C-alpha cells in the first residue's frame, strides 16, 4: 500500500506529512514535508485544554478539515495514488490510568484525546483515513503510548534501541526478546518553551544551552520528580509537563541560557540513566532533538559504550510519520499494531478508526 502518514507532535512545530510505500514488514518514504502551523492554529492548540467543550468540539472538526486541506495541497503536484491516510492527530489530553480498567459501575478510567477528526479528513480529501490510534489501548487499561515501538521492532529492529527526541523523549528496546517502551522525560517541549524567551522557536544546535552554566540545585530538583521513579509502562503528556515539570524550571529564576543548559543536561542524563541499565550497544536517535548537537554530545559523553546513531535527515524528521503510516497499514490489514508489552494493556490490539467515502 501507499499510505500518507500524518503526525502532529507536542512541540507544535508543525504537521509532518510522509508518503510511504508499505509492504509486509518494510516501509520507505517516497516524499515528505513539514507544514508549520499558522500562528492562529499554534495559539489555539497551545491553549485548547483550557477552552470550553464547544470550542474543543469545533477545533476537532476544523483541524480535521485543515489537515485535509494541507494533504490536498501536498498531493496536488504529485502523480502518486494514495491508498489511505494514517493520522496521529494532535494530542490535547493524555491521562491514562495505570492498572485495571474500572468497572462499568463507576470509578475512574483513563482517557486520551487526539484531535483532527478523521471523518473531516476523509470528507476533505476523498481518501480512506485511519485515525484515533490510541483510544482502544487506553480502554483496555493501557497507556495508549508509545505506539511507535511496533514500528521500531519491525522496521528498525537491527538497532538495540530507538530513541525519539520529540516534544517528549521516549525510547523502545527489548528485554528478553520482549519489546518495551515508555516516555522518559520532556525534551523539545521544555527546550522550545525556554528558547521562546530568547525570541527563538528552538535552540539551534543547542548553542544557547552550550553557553549556559549548569545549575546543580535545579538539576537535583528535576531529577527527584516522582515520575522518574515509576515502573513501566508509563507515559506523560502536556498536563504533566505543565503541572509537574515546568513550575520547577520557572521557580529556579535563572538566566535563560542557564536554564537551557541545565534542562538539556537533565534530558541527556535521564536518557543515559535508562540506557546504561540495559544491554544496549547501538541506539538510533530521531526527532527534532537529534539536530541539537549539544544534546547529542552530552548523550555520547554520558554513554561512552553506546553507539549513538543519527540517521539521514529524512528519517530523523519523518520517522514517526513513517511509523504511523505503517500502523495504518497494519490496521487496514487487520494485524496487531499496539503491543500490550509496551502499554500495559490487558492484551494486544488493532487500534484505529476507519473513515471513508465512496468514490464518485
* Total-model pTM: 0.88
Residues 324 and 253 in one domain: no
Mean pLDDT of the chain: 94
Residue-level pLDDT at 106? 52
Residues 24 and 129 in one domain: yes
Neighbour-count burial for 200-238, b at 16+ CB within 10 Å, e otherwise:
eebbeebebbbebeebeebbebbeebeeeeeebbbbbbb
Direct distance between the N- and C-terminal alpha carbons of the chain, in angstroms, rounded to an integer: 21
Residue-level pLDDT at 12? 85
The pLDDT tens digits for 228-259 are 999 999 999 888 999 999 999 999 999 999 99
Q: Residue 102 pLDDT more than 60?
A: no
Please, is 24 exposed, middle or buried when counting C-beta atoms within 10 Å of its C-beta (0-12, 13-18, 19+)?
exposed
Q: Residue 213 pLDDT more than 80?
A: yes
% residues pLDDT > 70 (the chain):
96
78 vs 11: which has the higher pLDDT: 78
Which of 9-18, 103-112, 138-147, 159-168 is predicted with the least confidence, judged by mean pLDDT?
A: 103-112
Q: Flag whether 220 is in a domain.
A: yes
Residues 304 and 287 in one domain: yes
Residue-level pLDDT at 360? 64
Locate 118 and state its grid cell. 478523521
Q: Flag whether 238 is in a domain.
A: yes
Residues 25 and 133 in one domain: yes
Residues 232 and 161 in one domain: yes
110 vs 52: which has the higher pLDDT: 52
Q: Flag whether 51 is in a domain.
A: yes
Residues 108 and 201 in one domain: no
Residues 289 and 326 in one domain: no
The pLDDT tens digits for 113-162 are 999 999 999 999 999 999 999 999 999 999 998 898 889 988 999 999 99
10 vs 160: which has the higher pLDDT: 160
Q: Which residues sit opposite 174 in a β-bridge? A: 179
HEC states along the chain? CEEEEEEECCCCCCEEEEEEEEECCEEEEEEEEEECCCHHHHHHHHHHHHCCHHHHHHHHHHHHHHHHHHHHHHHCCCCCCCCEEEECCEEEEEECCCCCCCCCCCCCCCEEEEECCHHHHHHHHCCCEEECCCHHHHHCCCCCCCCCHHHHHHHCCCCCEEEEECCEEEEEEEECCEEEEEEEEECHHHHHHHHHCCCCCCCHHHHHHHHCCCCHHHHHHHHCCHHHHCCCCCCCCHHHHHHHHHHHHHHCCCCHHHHHHHHHHHHHHHHHHHHCCCCCCEEEEECHHHHCHHHHHHHHHHCCCCEEECCCHHHHHHHHHHHHHHHHHHHHCCCCCECHHHHCCCCCECCCEEECCCCC
Q: Flag whether 6 is in a domain.
A: yes
Residues 285 and 233 in one domain: yes
Count how many residues are written for the chain: 360
Residues 308 and 323 in one domain: no
Q: Flag whether 360 is in a domain.
A: no
Query: How many angstroms separate the CA atoms of 114 and 118, rounded?
Result: 10
Residues 159 and 202 in one domain: yes
Residue-level pLDDT at 100? 47
Among 113, 111, 170, residue whose Cα is nearest residue 141: 111
Residues 52 and 30 in one domain: yes
| Cα dihedral value 50, 54, 56, 57, nearest 10 | 170
Give residue 224's Cα distance to chain centre: 24
Residue-level pLDDT at 98? 52
Q: Residue 99 pLDDT more than 60?
A: no
Give the residue-averaged pLDDT of 254-280. 97
* Domain span including residue 156: 150-314
User: For position 323, which CATH number holds?
Assistant: 3.30.420.40
Structural domain tally of the chain? 2
Residues 213 and 131 in one domain: no
Amino acid at each position: 500500500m501507499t499510505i500518507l502518514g500524518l503526525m502532529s507532535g507536542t512541540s507544535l512545530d508543525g504537521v509532518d506529512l510522509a508518503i510511504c510505500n508499505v509492504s509486509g514488514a518494510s516501509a520507505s518514504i517516497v516524499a515528505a514535508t513539514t507544514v508549520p502551523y499558522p500562528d492562529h492554529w499554534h495559539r489555539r492548540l497551545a491553549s485548547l485544554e483550557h477552552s470550553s467543550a464547544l470550542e474543543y468540539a469545533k477545533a476537532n472538526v476544523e483541524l480535521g478539515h485543515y489537515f485535509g486541506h494541507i494533504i490536498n495541497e501536498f498531493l496536488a503536484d504529485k502523480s502518486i495514488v494514495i491508498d489511505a491516510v494514517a493520522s496521529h492527530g494532535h494530542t490535547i489530553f493524555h491521562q491514562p490510568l495505570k492498572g485495571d480498567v474500572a468497572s462499568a459501575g463507576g470509578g475512574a478510567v483513563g482517557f486520551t484525546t487526539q484531535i483532527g477528526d478523521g471523518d473531516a479528513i476523509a470528507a476533505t480529501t476523498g481518501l480512506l483515513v485511519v485515525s484515533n490510534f490510541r483510544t482502544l489501548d487506553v480502554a483496555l487499561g493501557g497507556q495508549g503510548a508509545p505506539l511507535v515501538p511496533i514500528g521500531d521492532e519491525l522496521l528498525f529492529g537491527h538497532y538495540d534501541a530507538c530513541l525519539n527526541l520529540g516534544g517528549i523523549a521516549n525510547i523502545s528496546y527489548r528485554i528478553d526478546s520482549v519489546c518495551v517502551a515508555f516516555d522518559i522525560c520532556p525534551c523539545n517541549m521544555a527546550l522550545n518553551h525556554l528558547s521562546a524567551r530568547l525570541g527563538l522557536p528552538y535552540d539551534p544546535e543547542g548553542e544557547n544551552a552550550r553557553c549556559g552554566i549548569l545549575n546543580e540545585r535545579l538539576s537535583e530538583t528535576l531529577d527527584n520528580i516522582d515520575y522518574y521513579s515509576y515502573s513501566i509502562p508509563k507515559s506523560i503528556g502536556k498536563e504533566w509537563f505543565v503541572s509537574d515539570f515546568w513550575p520547577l524550571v520557572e521557580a529556579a529564576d535563572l538566566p535563560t541560557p542557564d536554564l537551557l543548559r541545565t534542562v538539556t543536561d537533565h534530558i541527556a542524563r535521564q536518557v543515559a540513566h535508562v540506557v546504561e541499565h540495559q544491554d544496549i550497544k547501538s541506539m538510533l536517535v530521531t526527532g527534532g532533538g537529534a539536530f541539537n548537537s549539544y544534546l547529542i554530545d552530552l548523550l555520547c559523553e554520558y554513554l561512552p559504550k553506546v553507539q549513538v546513531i543519527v540517521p539521514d535527515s529524512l528519517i530523523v524528521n519523518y520517522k514517526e510519520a513513517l511509523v504511523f503510516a505503517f500502523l495504518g497499514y497494519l490496521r487496514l490489514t487487520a494485524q496487531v499494531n499496539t503491543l500490550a508489552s509496551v502499554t500495559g494493556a490487558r492484551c494486544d490490539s488493532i487500534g484505529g478508526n476507519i473513515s471513508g467515502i465512496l468514490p464518485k
